[in-house]
Structure 1
Amino acid sequence: MSNPLSRRLLTRSTWPEAKRLSEILRQETVGGVLLLIAAGAALLWANSPWSDGYHALSDFMFGPEPVHLHLSVSAWAADGLLAIFFFVVGVELKREFVAGDLRDPRRAALPILAAVGGMVVPAAIFVTINVTSGHPENVVGWAVPTATDIAFAVAVLAVLSTHLPSALRTFLLTLAVVDDLLAIIVIAFFYTDDLSPSALALALLPAGLFALCIQRGVRHWWLLVPLAVATWALVHASGVHATVAGVLLGFTVPVLGRHACAENVERRLRPVSAGFAVPVFAFFAAGVTVGGWSGFVTDLVSPVTLGIIAGLVIGKPLGVLCTSYLLARFTRADLDDDLAWRDVLGVSLLAGIGFTVSLLIGELAFGHGTAAGDNVKIGVLVGSVVAGVLASVVLLSRNAAYRRICELETVDADHDGVPDIYDARQD
């Protein structure tokens, strides 16, 4: 007889996994609030009488020119600080595929396919809007509305104080993790210009030494950090976006075995990523000078802006929801008894909140300080806010049901430290 849970979608994970993911989401909530504050401050400064100071700071150049690292402050934030963010993403991805829910093909199928659907549909919508409006040159930005910002999304959940069930929180986080993997693949293959094979080959040397050291249990920061920086610098010089180096180095961190340190590395670096690297990037990436109400309206109806807003608000949730529904139909699986398809719609709308990676791809596609680049910022900000508001309406309408589920997930009658409902699942 087959296990009935194998025919269920969005079931609870094991208690250790649920506990670990809850801790990650708590840290991302703080990071999301800081991200919102940083983006808001950038918008206020960039549209104030002192906007010249913001742009002067953003464009200030520093760094060693002989090694091609004489960059602006905004470029250091995008290429340097985001490498820390993507390193954490790499560690988390490996952790999920080796020891987390993604190691089980049945559990991995839903978030992976949903992430693919959530990339294809918004990209198609963006391309359609720009081609039909007579601006095929904008198609280069097709990937902008395909990313989900987990920090922004969980910040919305924190503001709502919604009791989102653990299965939905796990789905959202796992979807965002897979989404980040797809985004870094897109960046590496579609937004790499003037590739230098020699620099890329040289990057393998410090990267290999980093992998060897960390796999052998070497934990000396004075050795690992210079090797990581050297790898990052050589990847940057190769023409491949430097954040790719962060993901690749993250993949080398051991998850299982005697020298496993993924959990410790993630615990140490996630606060740096969520609390510093991403908010600083957001501060320099989100500051667009609108130019009054008329200027805002003009930018709002541009094909780039409309394509991004439609991609995030319509395409992203449509792709995630329809892929999930089709998977259920083809596998004849049902949602978990506690959930309804309206819940999947709410999470799918949350997936339409794109920010960090969307802004990064926008800069790679259109360049920093260009008119199209400014339209990207407006599209991402407006689209993310609209998606967040719509998700809020759907999720709040189910908050009473979520509260009952949350109460069940905290009952521990036998006082063994594991909620009884997880004991039942494991039995």
Structure 2
Amino acid sequence: MCAAPRERSVFLGLLPWSERVQVARALRTETVGGLVLLGAAVVALVWANTPWSGSYESLRGVHFGVPALGLDLSVQHWTADGLLTVFFLVAGIELKRELVAGGLSTPAMAVLPIVAAVCGMVVPAAIYLAAVTAGGGYAGGWAVPMATDIAFALAVLAVLSTHLPTALRAFLLTLAVVDDLGAILVVAVFFSSGLQPVALGGAFAGLVVFHLLQRFRVRGWWWYVPLGVVIWALTYNGGVHATVSGVAMGLVLRCVRDREAGEDASPGERAEYLLRPVSAGFAVPLFALFAAGVSISPPVLGELFTRPEPLGVLLGLVIGKSVGIFAGTYLAVRFTRARLNPDLAWADVFALAVLSGIGFTVALLITEVSFPDPAAAGRVKAAVLLGSLLAAGVAALLVKRRDRIYRRLWEAENRGEDADGIPDVCLQRPDGPAHGTPGGHQRRTGHR
């Protein structure tokens, strides 16, 4: 018998199927996706601050496309307007899932993350406007510090925590989904120019066809991929930022399984499963590679704290997001019927609020569309990077402290003790259950 030929991996070539499956599985995790994104940002920063920075600028300025269709874009714009659409398509699917079966499926469940996210966008924007008003700066960048980078935030949380409640990650995910929706609405409403009704009408018609294909259970990528490209191109030529088309298609995709048709996964679930590795391992890192390359020198770093625009972004990310999200969560719990998950403490919420100050991908995108001056955009991008780094550092300290507390609780429970170190058996009456509860252990969580 002849042995089956072994798969060979080729350097810079196509990986064997088994290895491709492993890479895709890894990229579906927040940790790996965040690390790939971080690596791309570091490469961009190093490349842009070396003697070879001219080659970096030349590469991202190369134009190609189809001029007859209005699609003659630079490499930088292809990554921002084209590839990043995949990221927003995945975000749209996540939002649809939250709306139909997740934390936004009922008004009572949706109040808390929506109020927290809205406050987490309003307060940073207000801080930015206050800074530029006091310093006489450019007010058009007010939306830059509003957005949270969910990939980075979840990656930090995944790396640092092993014993934190799962409710914390769920709250952050729901919060970030609402935050992404708010950011893309801001881009669509405030940063659209030269609207073309005919092209936008064509994009809307394409979305209607997309919906009908879903409604009649039409399957096959050969229907959806060409249609999606047409919708994207019409949206771009319609004067609206093309990434809006990704969110729209994600919201149209059906995210509930049709049990009668024997579906083992909904179209939204299948699309997210296939596209998340593409987004995390290719689209977002390439965008970061051509967007994060800013000059970092002592004069530029000094301007971050002296010019109103970068200072407003810096304060908005580090302080505004923390204050806005924490205050919004507290006000929602205090004055509405919303309730904080019983597994979470307010210290957990504060750590999460600080973590939400990591504003990378969407913040860089908004910087590019809101600052026409490349020099000003470079300073603001540097402020985004520094602010995200500071927020990540402070959040890491807070998250690690909370993780140690929950680890001690977990270890105490495994030893049969309560949080105060007293064995549960010592709290048992000879003839019944522990004091303080109808049928079990007396829990002490006040130290949290």
TM-score class, shorter = 0.7 to 0.9
Counterpart secondary structure, 2:156: helix
* CA–CA distance in structure 2, aligned partners of residues 154 and 32 of structure 1: 8
Change beyond 3 A, Cα 1:196–1:397: same
* CA–CA distance in structure 1, aligned partners of residues 58 and 155 of structure 2: 30
Between the two structures, name the one with larger relative contact order (CA 8 Å, sep ≥ 6): 1
Change beyond 3 A, Cα 1:339–1:211: closer
Residue 178 of structure 1 corresponds to which residue in structure 2?
178
The partner residue of 1:387 within 378, 384, 391 is 391
**TM superposition shift of 1:402:** 2.7
Counterpart secondary structure, 1:37: helix
* CA–CA distance in structure 1, aligned partners of residues 341 and 125 of structure 2: 30
**TM superposition shift of 1:299:** 4.2
Structure 1's unaligned 5+ residue stretches are 1-22, 411-427
Structure 2's unaligned 5+ residue stretches are 1-24, 415-448
Counterpart secondary structure, 2:29: helix
* CA–CA distance in structure 2, aligned partners of residues 230 and 278 of structure 1: 21
Residue 169 of structure 1 corresponds to which residue in structure 2?
169
Residue 143 of structure 1 corresponds to which residue in structure 2?
143
The partner residue of 2:375 within 368, 371, 378 is 371
Deviating more after overlay: 315-324 vs 152-161: 152-161
Change beyond 3 A, Cα 1:341–1:30: same
Matches within 5 A, 1:342-381: 342-367=347-372, 370-381=374-385
* CA–CA distance in structure 1, aligned partners of residues 39 and 413 of structure 2: 32
Residue 101 of structure 2 corresponds to which residue in structure 1?
99
Change beyond 3 A, Cα 1:408–1:96: farther
Deviating more after overlay: 400-409 vs 251-260: 400-409
Q: Deviations over 1:18-49 (max 9, x none)?
A: xxxxx999622211110000000000000011
**TM superposition shift of 1:86:** 0.7
Q: Deviations over 1:268-308 (max 9, x none)?
A: 11111112111111111100023x32333234432111000
Matches within 5 A, 1:56-67: 56-67=58-69
* CA–CA distance in structure 1, aligned partners of residues 83 and 277 of structure 2: 13
* CA–CA distance in structure 2, aligned partners of residues 336 and 251 of structure 1: 27
Contact 2:37-2:285 at 8 Å conserved across structures: yes
* CA–CA distance in structure 2, aligned partners of residues 103 and 224 of structure 1: 27
Residue 445 of structure 2 corresponds to which residue in structure 1?
none
Contact 2:124-2:145 at 8 Å conserved across structures: yes
Change beyond 3 A, Cα 1:208–1:308: same
* CA–CA distance in structure 2, aligned partners of residues 58 and 406 of structure 1: 50
Residue 194 of structure 2 corresponds to which residue in structure 1?
194
1:248 aligns with 2:248: yes
Contact 2:30-2:158 at 8 Å conserved across structures: no
* CA–CA distance in structure 2, aligned partners of residues 167 and 25 of structure 1: 23
Deviating more after overlay: 149-158 vs 297-306: 297-306
Aligned residue identity for 1:250: G
Contact 1:165-1:405 at 8 Å conserved across structures: no
The partner residue of 2:290 within 284, 295, 307 is 284
Superposition CA RMSD, Å: 2.2
Higher Cα radius of gyration: 2
Deviating more after overlay: 370-379 vs 229-238: 370-379
**TM superposition shift of 1:407:** 7.6
* CA–CA distance in structure 2, aligned partners of residues 69 and 266 of structure 1: 27
TM-score computed with the length of structure 1 as normaliser? 0.85
**TM superposition shift of 1:221:** 1.5
Contact 1:210-1:224 at 8 Å conserved across structures: yes
Residue 212 of structure 2 corresponds to which residue in structure 1?
212
Contact 1:300-1:375 at 8 Å conserved across structures: no
TM-score computed with the length of structure 2 as normaliser? 0.82
Aligned residue identity for 1:91: I
1:271 aligns with 2:271: no
* CA–CA distance in structure 1, aligned partners of residues 141 and 413 of structure 2: 43
Matches within 5 A, 1:305-344: 305-331=310-336, 335-344=340-349
Q: Deviations over 1:46-73 (max 9, x none)?
A: 0011000111111110001111100000
Contact 2:28-2:280 at 8 Å conserved across structures: no
Contact 1:302-1:375 at 8 Å conserved across structures: no
Contact 2:93-2:272 at 8 Å conserved across structures: yes
Residue 299 of structure 2 corresponds to which residue in structure 1?
294
